[in-house]
């Protein structure tokens, strides 16, 4: 190597979270530009980026040096007392020379999190001594122990410290790190380090502690530090680096800076030559699955798969006939052959085992998820419940023998049982071999603008307005946003402050912001995990891997997705309600898939609570599509995504016979018949390649992947092969070329049919339950959402629309959660404020022992009053839980303290054996209940309905027996333009008018010391956050603090996570004019196919609702809006009936009154 060369050994990438701004791809590109033979990655305390860094460097021909800047505790890593962040640890740079060093580095980094974490992941010198083999140590920056002692003028201690580290790492493996960063303290530290080097013969090494790539990135880094610490650039006491020298300097710059110590430059090359770590990717480390000594994993898999298919075969034959058995057995043998050849028998057995455990423990498991539903082996093992042959699903879509990679079977579990499955695999394979998986939250387009805006101290309103100009497209980049949204370009040119905001945002966009636990991922190892991957502990004490999901797969570890799907809980609870309350139990596996009632419900769009079909958009498509078979549902789930959505009108027209279905060649008919000639699924692309182009199914899957990624170069190579195959099938080249073009077009949007089929089955099950067991289904749905107030309000409203009464809690009827009582749903006792688990158990236990309670006194005599205090009783009375005893709530409240005292005295007397003969008889059932005690004062009138509702709301959080808005239903439908649900579908800055009850007010002071308010406005479907700025709040404060329903006009503030209304005016709903309108307006988007159907619907509405008001049609397209007056012969009435009918036929919001 040339003496001019230099290697950076101290580099912080973006994996030094909110401290490093260097992207790994940019780092390697810069190192290559500088002609560096190697480069190190040394992030703070972690090894998060190891796999990404290694692969990227190797791809570019640069040697990757894996390292870490560790934190060393001053005494022991177990001492977690006193001191600030700067006092509880010192920095130490460590580089891995070889596999042994890498293994030790993983252990050190892991122990820093698992044992030593205190503000930072810390090790100590004891474990450093234990795990030093194969490591090179560098003394680190000014926060290193040696430099810190020099700065404190403790040279003798600094000398001792240097000797200790040299002894730990061994001669030639410890270096003193000198830097030239322009800091005065660094100059002093360097002088001391040079002196120690001279006296102790410890070699020096030059580094630059790189935190950003280029000098001009220094400001971006300062902003990043502000985001980390919650400060602004204006804060004088913020954390800062003071100079702009912490960048990735060129070898020439470094050589010039250290011309006084050339050996420090040379040593970087020596160290790089010492570091020769090599990873062997392509191996798979499956956990050990226990089998008998006389069998192999392959034998076991074949045995259980054949047995499993045999158990399923009677039902298959019943549905499809005897002729299919040979087809299934042949497919099973082919799949088993592939699985065995790829060495994945153990994987299937492991998944099968924990799925079987779940089912044994009555933990609901989903029918399938993702491409695994295409495997007959998975079906035979009951990993999935989707028959892949029945639904034309292909094994090669799941496991392609031409492209060897670890299988990926994701499993949906009932969330209540998910942790039990994780506990099971942890116990089975060993706690040290099982872990959850890390994931990294990134600074995405809108979020990074907000982060940077805060750091620059730009007012929230200005930053929010800019962030909202970024189109709401998943994973959109700021560069794409600038191209798509001209207003971003305009404001950037016009306003220097915004230009700086956007420039800095783009420089930080995409960086990792924080680490968290992956929602579903679990990794299971063959050996203790720390021998394969470093470990991390989250702030909530969850242990995860330091490598993300994809990096774990690259490293050969076996990961599984254990997903929690709440709908499975709903189905489980609904079945329990049905099977406990009805004579004939229901078996979901035997549901007919052609049930007329189910499809009738779907075709009406009555799908609140139905899996995947709750959105207004889905309801609209259902009403238009009128699905009548399971294949329609499979297609619908595949269609309802951003790309394929534009195919919906064409799909519906073909289904309904409005557009003829034409196949280019007859062979396509069988493949595309169920989707009415539209290529919708990835599996259809594979079938076409196989049937038309004579591809094998594994080749077809490879083609499918190439097409979906729009890999033009590879597609051009495949095209002649496809055309040649078609030619052999006797298909003219012109037609074959057209088929190829159609495949290219649709493959980009093609959806995984395996996944769509599995989820359509859950959709159908929930729709069937709602259609045939509506009370049980809604009770189960309410139970699943018991902790989500807005969802409870919504589903209570849905129940009322369905004609299902919701009853308040009752001491004689209620269980802990929602329950079914005939054709009604009863609120659970757990919903009552102040009533805890102990009190609930005491009530239910007393009821089970002695039967229903006759009165409050009977309740107090029998229930355990040690667990049920006065507060609990007051809550029970006020929410109506004692109504079934025949006493009024007001009357009970006036008597309950006296009754409690009497009951407690009786208990005390009984405890001291002072009970009377009659008390003993009563305890034994020898004396009838004294009905005169039901009411001590029956002359007290009940509270008025308004008070009753107020107490219900106070103690349950909901209105049940009534609602303050019910008397205003007609007016609300006239004067409002939305409710708490429908506004979620509207656009930012759109004007809205809503009505509701004020459920909560939070007043805050502005910077000008004025009062503004955040108000929760509740209607029949949920709650809306409304912001009242000082000027308007001052005017309407009294109205908002009253109890009457309120009418609010404002504009929407649509953020990423919520929707708020910025109030412009407010008034009492009772004082709002019933019909302030003078015209009727219809809006039609001409760009949407099917808009001509709306014209027909308009005509029908006009015939039914003739009146005196002018009507206008707004025709919208991409560039303008055309207003058409419908004429004197097309005047409408203005009424709630018209609005309801227009919303039903045209879609909510298409018609408005003005």
Q: What is the mean pLDDT of residues 204-209?
A: 96
Give yes or no for residue 408 having a pLDDT over 90. no
Res. 500: pLDDT tops 50: yes
At 924-947, the pLDDT tens digits run: 443 444 443 444 455 688 888 888
pLDDT tens digits along 955-978 = 888 888 888 888 888 888 888 888
Non-local (6+) Cβ contacts of 198 within 8 A are: none
Contact (CB, 8 A) for 757 and 393: yes
Residue carrying the six token digits 């040979």: 326
pLDDT at 748 over 60: yes
CATH 3.40.50.720 assigned to domain 966-1071? The reply is no
Give, in order, the Cα–Cα distances in Å from 1000 to each of 178, 951, 1130, 1131.
60, 15, 45, 43
> Residue 938 has what pLDDT?
55
Q: Residues 214-251: pLDDT tens digits?
A: 999 999 999 999 999 899 898 888 888 889 999 999 99
**Cα-based torsion angle of the residue sequence 1088, 1091, 1094, 1096 in order, rounded to the nearest 10 degrees:** -170
Question: Where are the domain boundaries for CATH 3.20.20.140 in the chain?
Answer: 24-213+248-274
Which residue(s) pair with 1151 in the sheet?
A: 1082
pLDDT at 735 over 70: yes
Q: Which of 834, 832, 837, 806 is nearest to 819 (CA)?
A: 806
In the chain, CATH 2.40.50.140 covers 966-1071
What pTM value is reported for the model?
A: 0.87
Residues near 293 by beta carbon (within 8 Å), at least 6 away in sequence: none
pLDDT of the residue at 414: 94
Report the mean per-residue pLDDT for the chain. Answer: 90
Residue range 178-189: mean pLDDT, rounded: 94
* pLDDT above 50: residue 605: yes
Q: How many residues does the chain have?
A: 1154
Q: Count CB atoms within 10 A of the CB of residue 1054.
A: 17
Residue 412 CB partners (closer than 8 Å, separation 6+): 365, 366, 369, 563, 564, 565, 568
Instruction: Let me know: does 786 contact 818? Beta carbons within 8 Å.
Output: yes
Mean pLDDT, residues 402-422: 90
CATH topology of domain 805-956: DNA polymerase; domain 1 (1.10.150)
**What pLDDT score does 937 carry?**
52
What pLDDT does residue 1093 have? 63
Q: Per-residue pLDDT tens for 121-131? A: 999 999 999 99
Residue identified by tokens 């002649």 is 720
User: Given CA atoms 667, 671, 675, 678 in this order, what sign does their dihedral have?
Assistant: negative
- How many other CB atoms are found less than 10 A from the CB of residue 546? 25
Going 826 to 830 to 833 to 834, the CA torsion angle's sign is positive
Q: 207 to each of 35, 138, 336, how far by Cα in Å?
A: 17, 10, 55
Read off φ and ψ for residue 624, nearest 5 degrees. Answer: -75, -35
Residues of the chain with pLDDT > 90, as a percent, come to 63
**pLDDT at res. 1091:** 56
Bridge partners of 873, per DSSP, are none
Q: Which two tokens stand for residue 369?
A: 């998820």
Read off the DSSP letter of residue 203: P
Q: If DSSP codes are grouped into helix, strand and coil, which group holds residue 593?
A: coil
The pLDDT, as a whole number, for residue 924 is 45
Q: Which CATH superfamily is domain 24-213+248-274 in?
A: Metal-dependent hydrolases (3.20.20.140)
**3-state SS assignment for residue 853:** coil
Q: How far apart are CA 1079 and CA 1152, in angstroms?
A: 9
Given a contact cutoff of 8 angstroms between Cβ atoms, the answer to whether 546 and 438 are in contact is yes
The answer to whether the CB of 529 falls within 8 A of the CB of 523 is yes
Ranges in the chain annotated CATH 1.10.150: 805-956
536 strand-pairing partners: 544
Query: What pLDDT score was predicted for residue 1105?
Result: 86
Structure confidence at residue 1046 (pLDDT):
94
Contacts 24+ apart (CB under 8 A), 401-405: 401/338, 401/341, 401/342, 401/698, 402/698, 402/699, 402/701, 402/702, 403/698, 403/701, 403/702, 404/342, 405/553
Q: What is the model's pLDDT at position 914?
A: 54
Query: What DSSP string runs through 934-986?
Result: G-S-TTPPPPPHHHHHHHHHHHHSS--S--TTGGGHHHHHHH-S--TTGGGGS
The pLDDT score that the predictor gives to residue 934 is: 45
3-class secondary-structure state, position 701:
helix
* pLDDT of amino acid 927: 40
**DSSP secondary structure string for all residues of 273-284:** HH-------S--
Written as six digits, the tokens of 366 are 């989903």
* Nearest Cα residue to 272 out of 40, 486, 434, 12: 40
- Contact by Cβ (8 Å): 742, 664: yes
Span 1081-1133, pLDDT tens digits: 888 776 565 555 677 777 888 888 888 888 888 887 766 778 888 888 888 88
Residues 6+ positions from 497 with CB-CB distance below 8 Å = 456, 458
Confidence check: pLDDT of 663 > 50: yes
CA gap 713, 62 in Å, rounded: 27
- Over the stretch 898-917, which tens digit does the pLDDT of each residue have? 888 888 888 777 777 655 54
Q: What is the helix (H) or strand (E) element at residue 522, kind and residue range?
A: strand 512-524
- How many other C-beta atoms can be found within 10 angstroms of the C-beta atom of residue 1103? 9
Q: Quote the CA–CA distance of 91 and 148 in Å, as a whole number.
A: 10
Percentage of the chain surpassing pLDDT 70? 96
Q: How many helices (H) and strands (E) does the chain have?
A: 45, 26
Tell me phi and psi for residue 253, to 5 degrees: -60, -45
Alpha helices in 137-244 (DSSP H): 145-151, 155-169, 184-200, 218-229
């Amino acid at each position: 190597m040339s003496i001019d060369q230099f290697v950076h050994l101290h580099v912080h990438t973006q994996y030094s979270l909110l401290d490093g701004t260097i992207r790994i791809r940019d780092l390697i590109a810069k190192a290559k530009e500088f002609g560096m033979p190697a480069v190190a990655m040394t992030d703070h305390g972690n090894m998060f980026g190891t796999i990404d860094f290694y692969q990227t460097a190797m791809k570019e021909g640069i040697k990757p040096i894996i390292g870490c800047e560790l934190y060393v505790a001053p005494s022991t890593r177990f001492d977690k007392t006193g001191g600030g962040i700067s006092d509880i640890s010192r920095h130490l740079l460590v580089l891995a020379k070889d596999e042994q060093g890498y293994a030790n580095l993983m252990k050190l980094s892991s122990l820093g999190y698992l044992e030593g974490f205190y503000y930072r992941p810390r090790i100590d010198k004891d474990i450093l001594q234990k795990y030093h083999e194969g490591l090179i140590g560098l003394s680190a920056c000014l926060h290193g122990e040696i430099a810190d002692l020099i700065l404190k003028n403790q040279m003798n201690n600094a000398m001792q410290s240097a000797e200790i580290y040299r002894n730990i790492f061994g001669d030639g493996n410890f270096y003193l790190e000198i830097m030239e960063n322009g800091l005065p303290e660094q100059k002093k530290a360097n002088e001391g380090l040079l002196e120690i080097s001279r006296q102790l013969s410890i070699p020096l090494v030059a580094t630059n502690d790189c935190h950003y790539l280029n000098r001009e990135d220094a400001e971006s880094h300062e902003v990043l530090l502000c985001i980390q610490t919650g400060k602004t650039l204006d804060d004088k006491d913020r954390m800062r680096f003071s100079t702009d020298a912490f960048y990735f300097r060129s070898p020439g710059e470094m050589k010039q800076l250290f011309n006084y110590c050339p050996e420090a430059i040379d040593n970087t090359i020596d160290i790089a030559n010492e570091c020769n770590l090599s990873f062997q990717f392509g191996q798979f480390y499956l956990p050990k699955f226990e089998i008998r000594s006389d069998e192999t994993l392959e034998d076991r898999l074949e045995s259980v798969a054949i047995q499993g298919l045999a158990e399923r075969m009677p039902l298959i034959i019943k549905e499809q006939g005897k002729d299919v058995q040979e087809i299934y057995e042949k497919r099973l043998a082919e799949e088993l052959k592939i699985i065995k050849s790829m060495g994945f028998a153990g994987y299937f057995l492991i998944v099968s085992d924990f799925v079987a455990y779940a089912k044994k423990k009555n933990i609901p498991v989903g029918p399938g998820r993702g491409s695994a539903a295409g495997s007959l082996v998975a079906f035979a093992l009951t990993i999935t419940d989707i028959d892949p042959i029945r639904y034309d699903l292909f094994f090669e879509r799941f496991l392609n023998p031409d492209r060897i990679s670890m299988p990926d079977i994701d499993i949906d579990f009932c969330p209540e049982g998910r942790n039990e499955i994780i506990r099971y695999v942890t116990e089975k394979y060993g706690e040290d071999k099982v872990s959850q998986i890390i994931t990294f939250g990134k600074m995405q387009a809108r979020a990074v603008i907000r982060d940077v805006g805060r750091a620059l101290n730009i007012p929230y309103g200005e930053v929010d307005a800019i962030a909202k100009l970024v189109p709401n497209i998943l994973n959109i980049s700021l560069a794409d946003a600038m191209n798509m949204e001209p207003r971003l370009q305009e404001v950037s040119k016009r306003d220097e402050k915004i230009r700086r905001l956007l420039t800095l945002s783009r420089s930080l966009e995409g960086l990792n912001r924080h680490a968290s636990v992956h929602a579903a991922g679990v990794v299971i190892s063959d050996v203790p995990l720390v021998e394969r991957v470093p470990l991390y502990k989250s702030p909530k004490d969850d242990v995860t891997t330091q490598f993300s999901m994809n990096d774990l797969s690259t490293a050969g570890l076996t990961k599984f997705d254990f997903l929690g799907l709440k709908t499975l809980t709903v189905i489980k609870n609904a079945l329990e309600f049905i099977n406990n309350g009805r004579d004939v139990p229901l078996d979901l596996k035997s549901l007919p898939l052609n049930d007329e009632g189910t499809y009738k419900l779907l075709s009406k769009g009555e799908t609140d609570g139905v899996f995947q079909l709750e959105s207004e958009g889905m309801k609209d498509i259902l009403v238009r599509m009128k699905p009548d078979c399971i294949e329609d549902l499979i297609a619908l789930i595949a269609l309802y995504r951003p790309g394929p959505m534009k195919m919906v009108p064409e799909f519906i027209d073909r289904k309904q016979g409005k557009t003829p279905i034409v196949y280019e060649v007859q062979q396509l008919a069988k493949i595309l018949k169920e989707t009415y000639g539209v290529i919708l699924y990835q599996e259809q692309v594979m079938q076409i390649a196989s049937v038309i182009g004579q591809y094998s199914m594994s080749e077809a899957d490879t083609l499918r992947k190439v097409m979906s990624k729009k890999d033009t170069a590879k597609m051009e190579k495949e095209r002649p092969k496809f055309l040649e195959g078609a030619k052999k099938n006797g298909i003219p080249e012109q037609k074959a070329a057209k088929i190829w073009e159609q495949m290219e077009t649709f493959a980009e949007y093609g959806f995984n049919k395996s996944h769509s089929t599995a989820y359509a089955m859950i959709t159908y099950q929930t729709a069937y339950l709602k259609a045939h067991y509506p009370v049980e289904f809604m009770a189960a749905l309410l139970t699943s959402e018991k902790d989500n107030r807005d969802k409870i309000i919504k589903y209570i409203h849905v129940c009322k629309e369905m004609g299902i009464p919701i009853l308040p809690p009752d001491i004689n009827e209620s269980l802990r959660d929602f329950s079914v009582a005939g054709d009604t749903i009863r609120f659970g006792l757990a919903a009552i404020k102040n009533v805890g688990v102990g009190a609930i158990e005491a009530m239910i236990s007393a009821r089970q022992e002695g039967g229903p309670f006759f009165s409050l006194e009977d309740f107090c005599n029998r229930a355990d009053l040690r667990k049920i205090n006065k507060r609990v009783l007051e809550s029970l009375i006020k929410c109506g839980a004692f109504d079934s005893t025949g006493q009024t709530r007001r009357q009970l409240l006036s008597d309950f303290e006296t009754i409690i005292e009497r009951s407690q005295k009786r208990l005390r007397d009984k405890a001291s054996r002072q009970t009377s003969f009659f008390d003993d008889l009563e305890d034994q059932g020898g004396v009838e209940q004294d009905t005169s005690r039901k009411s001590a004062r029956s002359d007290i009138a009940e509270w008025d309905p308004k008070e009753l509702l107020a107490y219900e709301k106070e103690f349950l959080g909901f209105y049940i027996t009534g609602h303050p808005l019910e008397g205003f239903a007609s007016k609300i439908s006239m004067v409002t333009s939305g409710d708490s649900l429908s506004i979620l579908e509207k656009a930012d800055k759109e004007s809205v008018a809503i009505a509701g009850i004020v459920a909560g007010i939070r007043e805050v002071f502005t910077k000008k010391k004025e009062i503004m308010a955040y108000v929760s406005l509740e209607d029949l479907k949920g709650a809306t956050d409304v912001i009242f700025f000082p000027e308007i709040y001052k005017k309407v404060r009294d109205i908002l603090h009253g109890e009457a329903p309120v009418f609010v006009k404002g504009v929407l503030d649509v953020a990423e996570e919520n929707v708020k209304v910025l109030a412009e005016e407010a008034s009492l709903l009772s004082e709002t004019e019933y019909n302030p309108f003078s015209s009727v307006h219809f809006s039609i988007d001409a760009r949407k196919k099917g808009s001509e159907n709306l014209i027909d619907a308009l005509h029908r509405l006009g015939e039914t609702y003739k009146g005196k008001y002018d009507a206008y049609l707004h025709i919208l397209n991409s560039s303008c809006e055309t207003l058409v007056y419908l004429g004197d012969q097309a005047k409408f009435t203005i009424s709630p009936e018209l609005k309801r009918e227009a919303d039903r036929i045209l879609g909510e919001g298409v018609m408005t009154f003005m």
